[in-house]
Amino acid sequence: MPRYREIFIKKDARIIVWKITESEKELIQLLNNPVHVDIAKSRKAESSRKQYMASRIILEQESLDSELTKDINGKPTLKERHVSITHDHNYVAVMISEQECGIDLQHISPKVLRVKHKFFDPQDDVLSKDELIGLTIAWCIKEAIYKIHGDPLIYFKEHMRLLSFSQNRVHAKILHPDYLKDVTLEVQKIDELYLAYTI
């Protein structure tokens, strides 16, 4: 079975993480729905094709593929549950929950230093004293928060605040008046990537 790791958060939510080592041909053989093969083949980058197929295989294995749709902002939705999907390099993660949820994977990259001014507020708390790692984790957390609603009017710097860290748990707040709420997330390191998800 092509699952890399499964993280159980609580009874009503779980995460499936897949480290993709399969070839495109092997992934195509694992897909049941030929429509997804055609969609994958239309993508230019091999990594994008493989990530797409892997996420769909996970949803097929969970018997959720047929009920997955997208809202007006392109956020994936299910009929009776919530779902959040993320990918980075050769990893894909899918979160399935009874509650609104968000998940993100990020590898450490200097690009986060160049875009710091777009997402990081001086009031944000950080998990690491190392600037590159701290900003990568902050970006990962804010991506996960964004995916709760997927509304492009929620801005990372203006509408999200990272309030405090306690070990690998972060308390944050969405400040946008339409979505005002407190959010708690967990941060884990998986190989060379960081994974942030709502709990």
- Examine the domain organization and report whether 136 and 60 are in the same domain: no
pLDDT score at 176: 97
pLDDT given for residue 1 in this prediction: 47
Domain match, 128 and 84 both:
no
Residues 81, 139, single domain; the answer is no
The burial of 173, by beta-carbon neighbours within 10 Å (0-12 exposed, 13-18 middle, 19 or more buried), is given as middle
125-165: pLDDT as tens digits: 988 889 999 999 999 999 999 999 999 999 999 999 999 99
**How many other C-beta atoms lie within 10 A of the C-beta of residue 39?**
14
For the chain, how many structural domains are there in total?
2
Within this chain, do residues 83 and 110 fall inside the same structural domain, yes or no? Answer: no
* In a shared domain, residues 114 and 193: yes
Which residues in the chain show pLDDT less than 50?
A: 1
**Residue 3: its pLDDT value, please?**
57
Domain CATH code at residue 42 = 3.90.470.20
pLDDT at position 67 is 87
- Of 81, 99, 117, the domain-final residue: 99
Same domain, 25 and 109: no
All residues at 6 or more sequence positions from 85 whose CB lies less than 8 Å from its CB, including other chains: 55, 76, 92, 93, 94, 95, 103
Give the pLDDT score at 33: 87
Residues 188 and 131 in one domain: yes
Out of 99, 131, 151, pick the residue that ends a domain.
Answer: 99
Span 35-48, pLDDT tens digits: 888 889 899 999 99
Residues 42 and 61 in one domain: yes
Q: Which domain holds residue 30?
A: 5-99
From 36, 64, 99, the end of a domain falls on: 99
